[in-house]
Amino acid sequence: MSVSTAAAAQAICAPLPVLGADVTVPLVTGGEVTYAALDYAASAPALQRVWDDVAAYAPYYGSVHRGAGYLSQLSTDLFENARKTIGEFLDCRADDQLVFTRSTTDSLNLLAAALPADCQVFVFETEHHASLLPWQDARVTYLDAPRTPAQAVETLEKALAARTASVQEGYGPALVCVTGASNVTGELWPVRELAAAAHAHGARIVLDAAQLAPHHPVSVRDLDVDWIAFSGHKLYAPFGSGVLAGRADWLQAADPYLAGGGASRKVTRREDGGVDVEWHETAARHEAGSPNVIGAYSIASACKALTEAGFDTLVARERHLIEKVKTGLAEVPEVRILSLFGDDAPRVGVISFVVEGWNSSHFAAALSAEYGIGVRDGLFCAHPLVRTLLGSDPQTQGECGAPEAAPGEKSLNAIRVSFGAGTPDEHVERFVTAVKELVQDGAKWKYRTEDGRCVPAV
C-alpha cells in the first residue's frame, strides 16, 4: 500500500465507539439531527468499552479496604489493580505514588497543599485555572505568555536563574507547573525541555496532562516530570475521578489532604482527652473516605482501550481531523484561529477561534440550535490566556453576552471546537459547513440572553 493510500485508509477508519453516538437533538428550524459532540476538551463522552466494563462490575460493587466479604475483597483488588494499570499507562517510576482524586483541579490542589515550607512556584499565565490558581498560599511567580516553544523554555530558565542568583534573599524548594497541551489553542508545550530547565536549576515540575493524555502517550520517565495530573472525564471515563502520580516524598511529608478514615493507620486517645493519629505513608494518606472505585476502574478501562487502539493510529487520525477543520476555517476570511505558537504549531484536537462581526456566544448558540453541534464559548477557564490571544482587537458586541466574562468584557470571548477518538468525520464536516453558512447567510433564528446564556428566542 502506498503512503498516500495508507494515509487515506487511516483517515476513514472507524473511531473508538463512544456513548451518545446515535443521540438525536431537535433543531429550532424543525426536525432532528444526530448530535455532533465537539466539546471534548470540557468532557469527552464515555467509551463504550468503559461503559461495558463498569456495567459488568456494578453488580459486584462493594466497599474498598473496608470489608472481609467477597464483594469487598473483589472491589479492593479491582481498585488497586486500576492503580497499577494507570501507573503503567503513565510509565511511572517504581517508587512513584499514584493518588486517586476527583479531577485535575483536585490533584493540583492536593499537591499545592503538600508543598514544603517556603516553596516558590513558577507558572505561566497561559495555564488553565486548575493549574494557575491552586498556588495562592505559596510564593508564586507568574510568567508572561511565550510566543514560541523556545521562548517558553528561555522564559523559565531566566526566572529560575534569577531565583538561584538571589542568594542574599535565600531560596527554598521550587516547583514549575506547566500544561502539556493548551485547553484553549490545543498547542503542544515543550514539556521535556521545560523539565530539563527546571531540574537544571534544582526545581521540580508538575505536568497538567488533562488535555494531553487523551490524545498522546504520556510517559513520566520520558518527559522526566516529577508529577502528572489528569482527569478521567477528559479521558473518556466520566465517573468523577482524577489522578496525581509522581514522587512520594512531598506527599508523605505533608499532612493528609483530607482527614478521615482510610488516611489514618492508628488513632488513640491521650490522657489529656485529645487524639493522637498515625497517618499512612502510602497513597492512602491522601485518599480519606470511601474511594470512588467506579471512577478509578473507569480510568483504568479507558487507559487499556487507548493503549490497545494504539496512539500512533489515534494521533494520525486526529491530525486528519485537525487539518480538515483548519482547512475549512481558512476558507472563511472572517474567521481567526487563536494561537500562541503560530498556525503550524503541533496541537491536539482543540481549536479556538473568533468570527468577525459575531459575538461568540451568539455563534455557538446558532451552531447548537440550528445544526445540532455542541461547542464551547467564553474564556474556557483560562481568562489571562484568552485575553492575551484576543488582545485589543475589536469585536462587534452582539445582544448575547459571554457567560464567563466580567462586566464590561462581554465581547471578549471565543469559540472552541474540540474532538478526539470518538469523533466521526461527519461531525467536523458538518461543523465546517455550518460555520461557512452562518458567516455567509447569518442565523436563521433570533436569539436572546437568558441567565447569562445566549438561547433561541421563543
Contact 96, 220 (CB under 8 A): yes
Cite the DSSP H helix spans in 331-393.
Answer: 360-371, 383-390
**How far from each other are the two terminal CA atoms of the chain, in whole angstroms?**
55
Q: 22: helix, coil or strand?
A: coil
User: Long-range contact list for 431-435, CB < 8 A, 24+ apart?
Assistant: 431/36, 431/38, 431/325, 431/328, 431/367, 431/371, 431/373, 431/375, 432/324, 432/325, 432/328, 432/329, 433/328, 434/367, 434/370, 434/371, 434/373, 435/328, 435/329, 435/332, 435/335, 435/355, 435/367
Return the closest-CA partner of residue 136 out of 160, 112, 102: 112
By DSSP bridging, strand 350-355 and strand 414-418 are antiparallel
Element holding 229 (H helix, E strand): strand 227-231
Contact 375, 38 (CB under 8 A): yes
Phi and psi dihedrals of 376, rounded to 5? -120, 145
177 belongs to the catalytic site: no
Q: Which of 92, 119, 303, 381 is catalytic?
A: 381
User: How far from 283 is each of 34, 228, 256, 288, 297, CA to CA, in Å?
Assistant: 43, 15, 10, 10, 16
Give the residue numbers annotated as catalytic, written as ranges: 381
